[in-house]
């Protein structure tokens, strides 16, 4: 092992574990050193026997509460163990049936390196009187006891420590070290948190040459993936791939033979001068193919008079008069296989959806009790689905739930098990990436009608692709653009400012407090106090911190980042701090507002869902369970589950998509400048239903409104236009996450 100079070594026996997380092996323990000192050691290491001597490498730290501690970075069993230590170990509960006398015999006969000798040849145990059965039992138990420790030490030797080491052991088991040494580049695809740079560092430690084909191919794939994740692209150009890969490789290389290998391995697709990861390519192609099949289906059109009569009937029944634009949108959706309805806030998208459902049911003689058997309403997030349920008074689910996502992440509905419903309505479609779009369309039957609803001017999906925009730009299906502000929204300054931002015409004269919008031009030194004052004022008016008030911020880290603002809000408004659970740098208390950060099919909770911590309990071993209430359901979280959640007094604008809040507070400071774009500002503003508070640097608001997000690299529109020749080749189904 190569030692870092400032690191120190200590030897001793681990006498007590104060805390040990079985899932990631984070431990707090007491070490009795060779000179009989008791030292608190912390870090990621497995449970080991107290009978053997261990050598630890790490650094001394001074904890503000617990004083001096030794942070373990690496450990190994010391080569020399005491006679009594070995006897105690071999006669411990680890080895049933082996008493002190037998253990003494073994150590006396085999010496201080008894363990090594037994592992090398188990038959040496026969020399001390153990029969074949006892020998095999002892040997297998010794292997089991030594394996985890040995693998962990092997990984530490490669400078793979802490949570990463434990993640590898969880993924690969006892083969972890062997797999890492053989091909560290497979970790990029198989272990979250390990990218090319980290894998390349391991490669150098194990002595794999820098021109190894696996390294070069990994750099190519990683470059394309980085472009996709960073920019939302479904492909990268040759120049982008080679320039980016060369930054990592730093050697002269002819990429052509490696590109050919990756294509043959079906991990890469080269089309013209575009380089696709295989999952992105086949997902995009799959969406285009299914959409073209749906719109090419020849179905008889309804007469306009029949549709008009049905619309008038619904108007009388529910007491509404649709505008000409709303009528036209309903007619188009009823008579087309795929219809896109797009518009900003206040343009009546939800009213059209409701009207369409009523008219479709009337024309097809579907009674209210059976509408859910024929109509399926979905949205990308739980919050968006909940909003649709409340507005429409109709069953609406997330797309993942609608597709029947199981505990293993596999969808029940696909090309072999189609939706039975014949009217499929998808809301907030701007959030749908190309992978989800592919899964969705695979499950839609050929005789179904599809209505895609969304605001194309909002932020695009977090994942790759421009599904909604490409669908509109392609001209392949019917599109209804809603430009007219609904009369109820005409007096809203929120809507006016949102439209100004969207059209890039926002001026200083627009940024004045009026009706439902309040502008605070304020120095950053006063901004924290202002945010607290706004929240307190809203609470005094009877609004809920959990349900009604939402602070939206572009970034997580730094001054005025999400983490900092969450901390100050929590400190101010959580009264009872007697019981808490700490995860990372965050404390969670009963009453805390939290957000789910990833889909969890087992819990039936989705990315973006907002909940509240309803209880914290500890078992007899001080192991905590946190209960979080999501829409009336109390779900239990272990401490290891807390990677899935974060405080939610402040959330990102991306996470807010699909949701609306009575009160939205958006601070704007120079820290955010690299992220400020018109789409970001527009999306944040349009989350506000009743009151909008824009605070901070007014100049930056103007600046943001005049900056557009770079156009994503996507070819879905071209495929729908059939500008790209469809080779119609048969391909095996590829899971989008096989190579990601």
Cα–Cα dist 657/680, whole Å: 10
When pLDDT is averaged across residues 180-201 and rounded to a whole number, the result is 90
Q: Would you state the pLDDT for residue 274?
A: 94
Torsion on CA atoms 263, 268, 271, 274, rounded to nearest 10: -140
* Residues pairing with 665 in the sheet: 551, 693
Q: How far apart are CA 247 and CA 256, in angstroms?
A: 17
Top-confidence residue, 501 or 85 = 501
Q: So what's the pLDDT on residue 6?
A: 60
> Residue 94: pLDDT above 50?
yes
Is the separation of the CB atoms in 669 and 699 below 8 Å? no
272 neighbors 426 (Cβ within 8 angstroms): no
Taking residues 247-267, report their average pLDDT.
Answer: 92
Task: Report which of residues 325 and 193 the model is more confident about.
Answer: 325
**522 φ, ψ (degrees, to nearest 5):** -145, 145
Res 714: pLDDT: 95
pLDDT number for residue 81: 56
At residue 501, the pLDDT reads: 92
In the sheet that holds 549-553, the strands lie side by side as 517-521, 688-696, 661-668, 549-553, 650-652
Mean pLDDT of 690-713: 90
Residue identified by tokens 């640097």 is 697
Name the pLDDT band for 725 (thresholds 50, 70, 90).
low
Please report where in the chains the tokens 């009546």 appear, as a residue: 348
Q: Comparing 117-131, 147-161, 201-215, 323-337, which segment has the lowest mean pLDDT?
A: 147-161
**Residue 148 — very low, low, confident or very high, per pLDDT cuts 50/70/90?**
low
| Confidence label for 162 from pLDDT (cuts 50, 70 and 90) | low
Question: Residue 651 pLDDT > 70, yes or no?
Answer: yes
What share of the chain in percent tops pLDDT 90? 52
DSSP 8-state assignment for residue 643: G
Residue, of 170 and 453, whose pLDDT is higher: 453
Dig out the tokens for 629 from the structure. 């209430």
Task: Select, from the ranges 109-118, 282-291, 706-715, the one with the highest average predicted confidence (pLDDT).
Answer: 282-291
Of the two residues 48 and 19, the one the predictor is more confident about is: 19
The mean per-residue pLDDT over the stretch 480-505 comes to 84
Kindly indicate the confidence band of residue 21, based on its pLDDT and cuts at 50, 70 and 90.
confident
pLDDT of residue 470: 96
Mean predicted confidence (pLDDT) in 502-518 = 90
For 631-724, strand residue ranges (E) read 633-638, 645-647, 650-652, 661-668, 688-696
Query: 267 near 218, Cβ under 8 Å?
Result: no
Helix (H, G, I), strand (E, B) or coil at 189: helix
Mean pLDDT over 573-582 rounds to 88
pLDDT value at 258 more than 80: yes
Q: Are 241 and 275 in contact (CB under 8 A)?
A: yes
Predicted confidence band of residue 737 (pLDDT cuts 50, 70, 90) = very low
Confidence of residue 729 (pLDDT cuts 50, 70, 90): very low
CB 550 within 8 A of CB 664: yes
Tell me what pLDDT residue 4 has: 39
> pLDDT, tens digit, for every residue of 461-481?
989 999 999 999 999 999 999
| Per-residue tokens: 161 | 């420590």
Query: What are φ and ψ of residue 610, in 5° steps?
Result: -105, 135
* Residue 732 reports pLDDT greater than 60: no
Whether 480 contacts 339, CB under 8 Å: yes
pLDDT in tens, 296-312: 887 788 888 999 999 99
Q: Could you tell me if 458 and 686 are in contact, meaning their C-beta atoms sit under 8 angstroms apart?
A: yes
CA distance to 28, 43, 62, 89, 448, per residue, from 38 (Å): 13, 17, 16, 21, 72
Three-state secondary-structure class, residue 712: coil
C-alpha distances in Å from residue 379, one per residue of 339, 376, 399, 629, 690: 16, 10, 6, 21, 23
Let me know the angle formed at the C-alpha of 555 by 554 and 561, rounded to the nearest 5 degrees: 110
Phi and psi for 562 in degrees, rounded to 5? Answer: -55, -45
Pairwise CA distance, residues 620 & 334, whole Å: 61
Tell me the pLDDT tens digit for each residue of 339-357: 999 998 888 899 999 999 9
pLDDT tens for residues 375-428?
A: 999 999 888 898 899 899 999 999 999 999 887 778 999 999 999 999 999 999
Nearest-CA neighbor of 383 among 594, 692, 592, 610? 610
The pLDDT of residue 411 is: 94
- Cα-only R_g, the chain: 31
The pLDDT of 58-68, averaged and rounded, is: 79
In the prediction, which pLDDT does 2 show?
A: 37
Q: Distance of CA 523 to CAs 230, 408, 560, 698, Å? A: 32, 49, 12, 10
Top-confidence residue, 598 or 590: 590
């Amino acid at each position: 092992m190569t030692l870092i100079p400032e690191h120190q070594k200590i030897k001793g026996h681990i006498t007590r574990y104060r805390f040990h997380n079985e899932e990631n092996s984070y431990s707090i323990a007491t070490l009795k050193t060779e000179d009989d000192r008791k030292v608190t050691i912390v870090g990621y290491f497995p449970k080991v026997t107290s009978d053997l001597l261990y050598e630890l490498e790490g650094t001394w730290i001074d904890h503000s509460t617990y004083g001096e501690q030794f942070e373990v970075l690496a450990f190994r069993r010391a080569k020399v163990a005491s006679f009594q230590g070995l006897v105690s170990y071999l006669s411990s509960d680890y080895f049933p049936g082996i008493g002190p006398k037998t253990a003494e015999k073994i150590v006396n006969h085999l010496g201080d390196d008894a363990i090594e000798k037994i592992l090398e040849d188990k038959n040496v145990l026969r020399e001390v009187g153990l029969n074949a059965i006892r020998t095999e039992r002892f040997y297998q138990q010794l292997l089991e006891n030594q394996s985890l420790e040995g693998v962990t030490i092997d990984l530490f030797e490669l400078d793979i420590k802490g949570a990463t080491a434990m993640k590898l052991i969880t993924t690969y088991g006892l083969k972890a070290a062997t797999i890492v040494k053989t091909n560290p580049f497979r970790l990029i695809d198989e272990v979250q948190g390990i990218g090319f740079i980290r894998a390349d560092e391991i490669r150098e430690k194990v002595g794999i040459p820098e021109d190894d084909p696996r390294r070069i191919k990994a750099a190519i794939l990683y470059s394309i993936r980085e472009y996709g994740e960073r920019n939302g692209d479904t492909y990268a150009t040759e120049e982008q791939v080679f320039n980016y890969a060369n930054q990592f490789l730093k050697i002269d290389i002819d990429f052509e033979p490696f590109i050919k290998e990756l294509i043959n391995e079906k991990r890469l697709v080269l089309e013209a001068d575009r380089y696709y990861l295989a999952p992105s390519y086949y997902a995009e192609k799959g969406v285009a193919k299914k959409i073209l099949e749906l719109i090419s289906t020849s179905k008889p059109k309804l007469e306009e008079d029949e549709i008009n009569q049905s619309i008038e009937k619904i108007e009388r029944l529910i007491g509404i008069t649709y505008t000409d634009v709303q009528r036209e949108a309903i007619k188009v959706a009823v008579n087309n296989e795929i219809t896109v309805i797009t518009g900003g806030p206040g343009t009546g998208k939800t009213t059209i959806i409701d009207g369409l459902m009523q008219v479709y049911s009337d024309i097809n003689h579907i009674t209210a009790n059976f509408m859910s058997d024929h109509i399926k309403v979905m949205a990308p997030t739980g919050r968006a689905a909940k909003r649709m349920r409340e507005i429409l008074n109709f069953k609406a689910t997330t797309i993942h739930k609608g597709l029947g996502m199981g505990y293993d992440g596999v969808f029940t509905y696909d090309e072999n098990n189609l939706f039975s419903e014949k009217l499929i309505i998808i809301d907030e479609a701007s959030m749908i990436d190309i992978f989800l779009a592919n899964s969705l369309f695979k499950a839609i039957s050929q005789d179904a009608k599809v209505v895609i609803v969304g605001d194309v001017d909002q932020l695009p999906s977090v994942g790759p692709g421009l599904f909604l925009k490409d669908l509109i730009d392609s001209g392949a299906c019917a599109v209804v653009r809603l430009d007219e502000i609904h009369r109820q929204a005409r007096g809203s300054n929120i809507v006016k400012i949102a439209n100004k931002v969207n059209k890039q015409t926002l001026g200083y004269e627009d940024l004045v407090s009026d009706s439902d919008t309040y502008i605070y031009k304020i120095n950053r030194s006063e901004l924290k106090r202002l945010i607290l004052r706004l929240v307190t004022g809203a609470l005094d008016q009877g609004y809920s911190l959990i349900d009604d008030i939402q602070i939206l911020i572009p970034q997580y880290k730094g001054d005025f980042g999400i983490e900092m603002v969450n901390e100050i809000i929590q400190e101010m408004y959580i009264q009872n701090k007697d019981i808490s659970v700490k995860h990372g740098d965050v404390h969670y208390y009963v009453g805390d507002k939290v957000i789910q950060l990833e889909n969890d099919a087992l819990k039936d909770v989705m990315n973006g869902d907002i909940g509240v911590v309803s209880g914290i309990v500890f078992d007899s071993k001080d192991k905590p369970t946190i209960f979080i209430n999501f829409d009336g359901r109390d779900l239990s979280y272990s401490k290891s589950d807390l990677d899935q959640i974060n405080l939610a007094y402040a959330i990102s604008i991306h996470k807010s998509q699909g949701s609306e809040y009575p009160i939205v507070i958006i601070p704007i400071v120079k820290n955010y400048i690299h992220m400020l774009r018109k789409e970001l500002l527009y999306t944040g503003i349009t989350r506000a239903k009743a009151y909008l508070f824009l605070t901070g640097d007014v100049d930056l608001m103007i600046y943001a409104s005049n900056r557009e997000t770079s156009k994503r690299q996507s070819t879905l529109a071209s495929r729908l236009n059939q500008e790209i020749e469809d080779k119609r080749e048969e391909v095996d189904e590829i899971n989008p996450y096989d190579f990601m």
